[in-house]
Structure formats: structure tokens, C-alpha cells
Structure 1
Amino acid sequence: MAQNGQHIKDDYPWWLVVFILLGIAIAVAIIVSDLYTQVFFTVVQGVYVTVFVTLVAFALAVILGLCIALLGLSDNIVLRQTARFYIEVIRGIPMLVLLFYVAFVGAPAIVALYNTVAAPLVDAGWAKPMLVRDLSLMWRAIIALMIGYASFIAEIFRAGIQAVDHGQIEAAKALGLSRYRRFRHVIAPQAIRVIFPPLSNDFVSMVKDSSLVSVLGVADITQMGKVYASGSFRFFETYSIVTYIYLILTVGLSLLLRRVEKRMRKTHER
């Protein structure tokens, strides 16, 4: 019992206490300093874009990643090799390079493909031709993040699905459950416990990597800070506030997801 008590003391989140105290100190500085207040209210305007890009890109990446994982587990060798090719190639490309490639190479290709497919409708007057500028830079960034993260998420799904006891899957087959019902009622509920922790880590990483959209001029937190700092030359104050906002988002999200993970674990133990 004494050892357990000592272990609990050692595991007390002192880092969180320090983080909260620093956060309060910075919040007070923002309130009492006109300069920090101005910087904060300028930079915080990009929070909506950061949250929107993160949520949409991650949701699309989860859907695409699940599809790729299922292809990788297919009985068809062509589908398996296609999934493996996608995963290995995309994981080998730096996210920033992928962002530039999708924005300036992929986007024109998508527009050209759309115009080719929609040509009969355009000629009939039922549709309008699409221009490259019609595909906004924010959506180009979202597509790039989706493609990049889907390769990592696919591996998470694959590992989670393969962690399910094969005997239970065979038992579900013996009961006559269809492939969809086996996945929904047998595989998914068990796999989610394996999938959730790394998937939540990727979600937090997506919040941070969303800052890359600033290189395209998308008005997220980083871009708003960059514009303000370049105009005022207040680099220390600006990037301190940018860091502060990102830390609130990522640490707060990490604590929330960790709480959900613990609740899932307790539910499973019951």
C-alpha cells in the first residue's frame, strides 16, 4: 500500500500545475498589457480557420484511411498492393512538399479533369467550366493534409483490425453474419480500443500541422501572427502569443482525449 501511495505521488501531474500557472501568468500579461492584448486579438482571429481545417481534414483523412486499410486487408492482391503503394509513397513525402504539390500541381490537374468530364454539360449550358482559382487555397491545404494523414491513419486501422482475435471473426462467419455485420458488431467495437490512442495522437498532430497552411497564405493562427509580426516587428510578443494559443489547443485536447481513453478502458474492464 505504501508503495502504491508513493507511486501515485510520483505520478501526480506537476507538469500540468506548472503549465496552468504559466498559462495564468500569460493571460494576466495579455489583460494588463495593451500590446499583448492587441497581438492576442489579432492572432486569435485565425483560430476558426485552424479549427475548421483540422476538423475537416482529419474527418476526411479518417474516412480515406479506413478505406485504404480495408483495401490493404482485402483478399485481392491487386487491391492490397495498391494500398501498400499509396501508404509507402505518401509517408515518404514531407507534409510541406505534399502541400505545395497538391496546391500547385494537383489542383490544376483536378480542375482540368473536371472540365474534361463536364465538357458535355458545359457545351449544353448546364454547367460552367471551372477555373483553378475556384478551388480555394484553404481547400487545397485540406486535401493535402487529408492525403498525407490518411497514409498514417490507414496503418492505425490495419493494426487495430488485425489485433481482433481471429477466432471471434470465424465464429461470426459461422453464425452467418455478412462482412458488413461482422465489421460493425465484432471487429469495430474491439478494434476501436486499440485504434483510439494513436488516432487521438494523430488528431493532436493535425492541429499542429495545420499551421503549414500558412505557407499558402491561409489566414490561420500562424498566418495572422506572421502578418502582424512582419508589420509591427514585434516578433517576440507575436510568436509568444501564437505559441500560447497552440499550447492551449493541443494540451487541452490531449487532456480531453486522455480522459475519453481512460473512460473507454474502464468501460471495457467492467
Structure 2
Amino acid sequence: MFRKLSSRWLKRIGALWLGCLLVLALGYFPSQAQDSAAVWEVGTEPTFPPFEMKDEATGNVIGFDIDLINAIGEAAGHPVKIISLPFDGLIPSLQSKTLDAAISGMTITAERAQTIDFSRPYFEAGLAIAVVEGNDSIQSFEDLKGKRIAVQIGTTGAEKAKEVEGATISTFDGAPLALQELLNGRVDAVVNDLPVTLYAINEANLKGIKIVGELLTEEYYGIALPKGSENLATINAALGELIENGTYAEIFGKWFAGEPPDLPEIAPALSSGTASGLDWGLLFRNLMRGAWVTIMLTFFSFLFGLIGGSLVAFALISPFKPLRWLCRVYVDFFRGTPMLVQLFMIYFGIPALFQGLGFDVSFNRFFAAVLALSLNVAAYLAEILRGGIQSIDRGQWEAAESLAMNPIETMRYVVFPQAFRRILPPLGNEFITLIKDTSLAAVIGFEELFREGQLTVATTYRAFEVYLAVAIVYLVMTSIASMVFKRLEAYMDPIGRSEKQRKAAAKPAPLGA
């Protein structure tokens, strides 16, 4: 009977799987046969207004680039699906062919053209220097010598800033963050694309910024595609058609003043230049420098987090209700909100808030990163410590009280040592997690281990090798931390130690001793 039922169910399961495969096949093969209607997945980084940005009302990505690629897709008979990605992730995505194309104000350069293909130029741009109003010390590119410069990672502005002698360069994931850094007074200038900076000055809430000097470069934007993509000719033909029939001029007029310039069919930058090779020696030095920064961030954040977490844990078990409720709100807030949001609030939000009130407040990057990480880890450690303390049997408190020990002595000599041994494993887990969470400090321009890897990928476009090396360094650090905590657990275990000592004492001495 059991065999018959088993056989029957196996047949049903097999038929179900076969049906699923047929459905998938029917959904897949027609799309291959009807290639003209295939959906183009196009990547963009939606923090580059007016080329691409999020519509606050609908949440959709809008902008000049988005209107243009949709018009190109319509002319070519291909629906377009917009995929939001960080700017420095667009080229690696094209290299792995997970995207059909990318349009994100990407400048056509000979270096990039070594690893991806570009369409004909669709926009003429150039790099400009932005400073705060009232700063008359910077009027040209030469005046940037020895100054603090903010740039967007992976852009031609970031490459141009490297040419400035003695400059301190801070990289950010988006142009708005770099401009906010300028407003907060932590950098002297921003080197970025002129249209984006002008839009921020005129349209966004970034008043108090001005453009100085002449354009540093003459650049052209192009649509990026995987190397050898069959869609290149289709996109070029559709773009040429839009320029000829006036659709391009209509889209240009929607987002910019004046008439669109005449665009060449081939960008001048493609006539010269070579891609940067991957220097393994330089990569090793950069990753070691980043690893040291990561270690410092982890050490100080965990130290202050442990101190703060201990105080909060004691407050959570305090009989004083207002204090207990206040600490509960703190723990729930920092455990219930993303650390990335907390980091942005502390580094960008608080200074902007106080400056709006007329106070000049600015945080050092290291201080802001340690503060955010410490506050976050303290919330988690507080719950771990509270659980460890409350796991100690209540009878030990009563026994200590009978020995005339006050509550502080009971906690110090009886409860906390036992609780600490019990919470060592979760403490180790939090420490290892913190090592990896320090990578979030990259968003405020802090060049820790992960950021060093990002900066290398932005110039070499060798994502797999670089990120594999970054992962190996993280693995080494977390493995060492895990080993240290295991040794500490063994050392703090009195039963285990006495057992080892007993076995060592019982071991017979070698002959001749």
C-alpha cells in the first residue's frame, strides 16, 4: 500500500515539475524568437539631476537621460526597463552582461572604451569647479593645489582631481553628497559635471554654491553597452533618427535652456588613451592601508559601544522607570533603523540642521563613523548584556545579600563575571559583524578597506579580481577575530581549565626525566 502511494505521489510530483518546465519554456523561447520586442534592461544611477533622479511624487526615475533612452527604445521597437545602480557598479554590470546598456551621464573616455562600448555622443558637457559663495581664494584649477576636494566615485571629475598636487580628495557615491559636503564646510571645492552642479544650485536646496573659472574639460556623454553588443548599431541608428526628426531637440528643451549643440558621431576622446592596468603591488598597499583604517574603526567603535552598552544594560534593569523607558526607546531606535540611515543623519543631517539654525557645526569623518557605529553596536550589546545578567539565578543575589554585599559588590564580584562568560559568544559575533559593517563608512567618503577596493575598480574596471582580494582581507580579519574570541572563551571557562590541568597532571612523565 505504501509503495503504491509513494509511486502515485512521485508521478504527480514529476508531472508538476514537467508542467513548470513547459511554462518556463513557453515564456522564454518566444522572447528569443521575437528579438525585436525584447526588453532592454538599462542601468542608471538616479542621483545625477537633471539627467536622472527620483520623482518625489511617483518614485519613478525621471530626467533627460531617461526620456532619451525611452525615446530610443520606442524608435528601435524595444521596451526599456530602468535598473537603479551605484555609478561605480554600472561598468562591472556591463562587463558581466547583466545589463543591456547604461545611461547615466557617463563620459566617453578611451580608458572606459577598452572594456565597454559607447554609442555616438548624445550630450556635450564639461567639468567645473564649485565653491561656496564668499570663497575668493579659488578661481582656477591651479588654485586647488593643497586644497580639500570632493568628487563622485568613478567619474572623470575624480580622475581630474588626482592631477592636483597636494590635494586631499574625498569620494562620495553621488554628486549631491559631494555638494552637501561642500556646504557643510568639510571641503574647499567640488569638481563635477557643470550641468549637474548648475541644476543643484538653481533647482535643489543647495543654495550658497557658485561656479568659478572656465570649464576644465570638453566631454561628451554616451550610452554604454557591453563589449561587442549587437544593440550598438540599433541604438546609434535610433539616436541619429531622433536627432534628425527633432525629437532630441524637444527632449533637450524640456530639461535645458537654449538650443542643443551639434554633436559629433564619434567622441574626440576615443582617439587616444589606454586603460589602466591592475598593479597588484599598489592594490596590496591600498588594501593594507584600508584594512588598518577598518581595524581602527572596529576597535574604537566596539570599545565605546561596549562601554555604552553596559551602561544602557544596567539602566534597562534599573527600578527607575523613566530611565528604563528612555533606554528602551534608544535601543529600539538604533536596532530598528538601518545603520546607513544613522550614519547619514549624524554626518550630513545634524550639521545641516545646526547650520540652518545659524550654528557652525561640522564632524570629522572618523569621529562621525565611530559615533554612528558605537551608538548602533551599543544598542545590540545592551540587549546581550541585559540577557546575560538576567540569566543568572536570582538565588545568587539573595546569597550575596546574606553575606552583607551591597548591590554594586554583588554585580561586580558575583553576577557580572558569570554573565560575561555566558555572553562571550554573542559578543564575538557582534565584533565580527562590526568588522564588516565598517564598510558602510565608505558612503561618507571614508577610505576604509571596501572603499579602497571601490576606488581601484573605478580606475581599472577589474571588479572580480579586486573584490575577491577585498573579500580575502575581510576573511583574514574575521578569522583572526573568531580565533581570539574562542581562545578567550576557553580562558574564561573555569571548568574547562581545571579539566585540562587535571589531565596535564595525570599525564605520566617521560622516561629518564
Q: TM-score range by the shorter chain?
A: 0.7 to 0.9
Q: In the TM superposition, what whole-angstrom CA distance separates every residue of 1:168-212 from its partner, at most 9, and x where no partner exists? A: 111212222222211110111111111111011101111000111
Aligned to 1:29: none
Deviation at 1:79, TM superposition (A): 1.6
Q: Which residue of 227, 240, 254 corresponds with 2:468?
A: 240
Distance in 2 between residues matched to 1:198 and 1:110, nearest whole Å = 38
Deviation at 1:82, TM superposition (A): 1.4
Q: Which residue of 344, 352, 361 corresponds with 1:132?
A: 361
Q: Does residue 163 in structure 1 map to residue 391 in structure 2?
A: yes
Decide whether the 8 Å contact of 2:432 with 2:482 is kept in 1: yes
Decide which structure has the larger Cα Rg and report it.
2
The residue identity in structure 2 corresponding to 1:237 is E
Deviation at 1:132, TM superposition (A): 3.0
Q: What is the 5 A alignment of 1:254-265? A: 254-265=482-493
Distance in 1 between residues matched to 2:479 and 2:445, nearest whole Å = 26
Q: Which residue of 22, 45, 70 corresponds with 2:289?
A: 45
Distance in 2 between residues matched to 1:112 and 1:146, nearest whole Å = 27
Aligned to 2:315: 71
Q: Does residue 100 in structure 1 map to residue 350 in structure 2?
A: no
Q: Does residue 209 in structure 1 map to residue 453 in structure 2?
A: no
Distance in 2 between residues matched to 1:232 and 1:44, nearest whole Å = 18
The residue identity in structure 1 corresponding to 2:440 is L
Per the normalisation by structure 1, the TM-score is 0.76
Distance in 2 between residues matched to 1:156 and 1:101, nearest whole Å = 26
Distance in 2 between residues matched to 1:210 and 1:112, nearest whole Å = 29
Aligned to 1:85: 329
Q: In the TM superposition, what whole-angstrom CA distance separates every residue of 1:231-254 from its partner, at most 9, and x where no partner exists? A: 222222211111111110011211
The residue identity in structure 1 corresponding to 2:364 is S
Q: Which residue of 194, 200, 221 corresponds with 2:422?
A: 194
Q: Which residue of 297, 303, 328 corresponds with 1:59?
A: 303
Decide whether the 8 Å contact of 2:313 with 2:383 is kept in 1: yes
The residue identity in structure 1 corresponding to 2:373 is L
The residue identity in structure 2 corresponding to 1:132 is V
Per the normalisation by structure 2, the TM-score is 0.41
Question: Which one has the bigger helix percentage?
Answer: 1
The residue identity in structure 2 corresponding to 1:213 is A
Decide whether the 8 Å contact of 1:39 with 1:237 is kept in 2: no
Aligned to 2:236: none
Aligned to 1:19: none
Decide whether the 8 Å contact of 2:490 with 2:497 is kept in 1: no
Question: Against the structure 1 CA distance between its residues 102 and 49, is the aligned structure 2 distance closer, same or farther, given a 3 Å change threshold?
Answer: same
* CA root-mean-square deviation: 2.3
Distance in 2 between residues matched to 1:258 and 1:230, nearest whole Å = 38
Question: Against the structure 1 CA distance between its residues 253 and 178, is the aligned structure 2 distance closer, same or farther, given a 3 Å change threshold?
Answer: same
User: Which structure ranks higher in relative contact order (CA pairs < 8 Å, sequence separation ≥ 6)?
Assistant: 1
Aligned to 1:179: 407
Distance in 1 between residues matched to 2:399 and 2:321, nearest whole Å = 25
Question: Against the structure 1 CA distance between its residues 138 and 107, is the aligned structure 2 distance closer, same or farther, given a 3 Å change threshold?
Answer: farther
Per the alignment, in what secondary structure is the counterpart of residue 375 of structure 2?
helix
Aligned to 1:6: none
Q: List alignment gaps of at least 5 residues for structure 2.
A: 1-277, 499-513
Distance in 2 between residues matched to 1:265 and 1:111, nearest whole Å = 53
Question: Against the structure 1 CA distance between its residues 255 and 111, is the aligned structure 2 distance closer, same or farther, given a 3 Å change threshold?
Answer: farther
Deviation at 1:144, TM superposition (A): 0.6
Per the alignment, in what secondary structure is the counterpart of residue 75 of structure 1?
coil
Question: Against the structure 1 CA distance between its residues 110 and 186, is the aligned structure 2 distance closer, same or farther, given a 3 Å change threshold?
Answer: farther
Question: Against the structure 1 CA distance between its residues 167 and 269, is the aligned structure 2 distance closer, same or farther, given a 3 Å change threshold?
Answer: farther
Per the alignment, in what secondary structure is the counterpart of residue 176 of structure 1?
coil
Distance in 2 between residues matched to 1:187 and 1:112, nearest whole Å = 48
Distance in 2 between residues matched to 1:233 and 1:181, nearest whole Å = 60
Query: Which has the larger displacement, 225-234 or 198-207?
Result: 225-234
Aligned to 2:137: none
Decide whether the 8 Å contact of 1:222 with 1:242 is kept in 2: yes
Q: Which residue of 241, 251, 255 corresponds with 2:479?
A: 251
Distance in 2 between residues matched to 1:139 and 1:181, nearest whole Å = 35
Question: Against the structure 1 CA distance between its residues 253 and 194, is the aligned structure 2 distance closer, same or farther, given a 3 Å change threshold?
Answer: same
Q: List alignment gaps of at least 5 residues for structure 1.
A: 1-33, 116-130
Per the alignment, in what secondary structure is the counterpart of residue 223 of structure 1?
helix
Decide whether the 8 Å contact of 2:490 with 2:496 is kept in 1: no
**Corresponding residue pairs, total:** 221
Per the alignment, in what secondary structure is the counterpart of residue 132 of structure 1?
coil
Q: In the TM superposition, what whole-angstrom CA distance separates every residue of 1:140-169 from its partner, at most 9, and x where no partner exists? A: 111111111111100000011001111111
